[in-house]
Amino acid sequence: MVQEKANAILEALNSATATNQEELEQFRIQYISKRSVIGALMGEMRNIPNEEKKAFGVTINNLKQTAQTKFKALIDGLENNNAESKAAIDLTLPPLEDAPGSTHPITAIRQQITQIFERLGFNLSEGPEIEDDWHNFTALNFPPNHPAREMQDTFFIQQDKEPEKAIDELALRTHTSSVQVRVMEDSEPPIRTLSIGRVFRNEAISARAHCIFHQVEGLYVDKNVSFLDLKQTVYHFVKELFGKDTKIRFRPSYFPFTEPSAEIDISCNICKGKGCNICKHTGWVEIAGSGMVDPNVLKNCGIDPEAYTGFAFGMGLERITMLKYQVNDLRLFTENDVRFLKQFKTL
Ligand code: PHE
Domain contains 143: yes
What is the edge-to-edge ordering of all strands in the sheet holding 123-125? 123-125, 191-200, 212-222, 309-316, 284-293, 258-267, 248-255
Rounded to two decimals, the pTM is 0.70
CB of 125 shorter than 6 A to ligand 1: no
Shared domain check, 317 and 196: yes
Into how many domains does the chain fold?
A: 2
Angle (CA) 198-204-205 rounded to 5° is 65
Ligand 1: residue whose CA is nearest its atom 9: 313
The residue out of 87, 122, 140 marking a domain boundary is 87
Domain contains 306: yes
Shared domain check, 333 and 245: yes
What is the Å distance from ligand 1's center to 143 Cα?
A: 16
What is the Å distance from ligand 1's center to 217 Cα?
A: 7
Domain contains 72: yes
CB of 291 shorter than 6 A to ligand 1: yes
Shared domain check, 35 and 122: no
Residue from 187, 143, 171, 218 nearest 301 by CA: 187
Average pLDDT (66-79) is: 89
What is the Å distance from ligand 1's center to 116 Cα?
A: 19
Residue 280: predicted pLDDT: 84
CA R_g for the chain: 39
What is d(CA 168, CA 132) in angstroms, rounded to the nearest whole number? 6
Each residue's pLDDT tens digit, 215-250: 999 999 999 999 999 999 999 999 999 999 999 999
The residue out of 30, 58, 87 marking a domain boundary is 87
What is d(CA 53, CA 211) in angstroms, rounded to the nearest whole number? 89
Shared domain check, 332 and 187: yes
Shared domain check, 257 and 129: yes
Ligand 1: residue whose CA is nearest its atom 7: 314
Shared domain check, 59 and 171: no
Shared domain check, 113 and 68: no
Task: Supply the mean pLDDT for the chain.
Answer: 89
Average pLDDT (18-24) is: 88
Buried b / exposed e along 16-28 (16+ C-beta atoms within 10 A): bebeeeeebeebb
Shared domain check, 112 and 257: yes
Query: Which among 8-17, 41-50, 186-195 has the top mean pLDDT?
Result: 186-195
Domain contains 290: yes
Angle (CA) 255-259-262 rounded to 5° is 65
Residue 332: predicted pLDDT: 93
Domain contains 83: yes
Domain contains 265: yes
Shared domain check, 144 and 22: no
Which ligand 1 atom minimizes the distance to the CA of 219?
A: 9
Domain contains 42: yes
Shared domain check, 240 and 134: yes
Residue 203: predicted pLDDT: 87
Shared domain check, 167 and 111: yes
Shared domain check, 169 and 80: no
CA 17 from centre of chain: 50
What CATH number is associated with residue 165? 3.30.930.10
Would you say residue 327 has pLDDT above 60? Answer: yes
Would you say residue 161 has pLDDT above 70? Answer: no
Would you say residue 12 has pLDDT above 50? Answer: yes
Each residue's pLDDT tens digit, 109-150: 999 999 999 999 999 999 999 999 899 999 999 887 787 777
Instruction: Work out the burial of residue 95: count CB atoms within 10 Å of its CB; fewer than 13 is exposed, 13-18 middle, 19 or more buried.
Output: exposed
More confident residue, 21 or 297: 297
Residue 135's domain comprises 105-344
Residue from 288, 243, 236, 239 nearest 262 by CA: 288
Domain contains 100: no
Residue 166: predicted pLDDT: 45
The residue out of 24, 58, 87 marking a domain boundary is 87
Residue 160: predicted pLDDT: 59
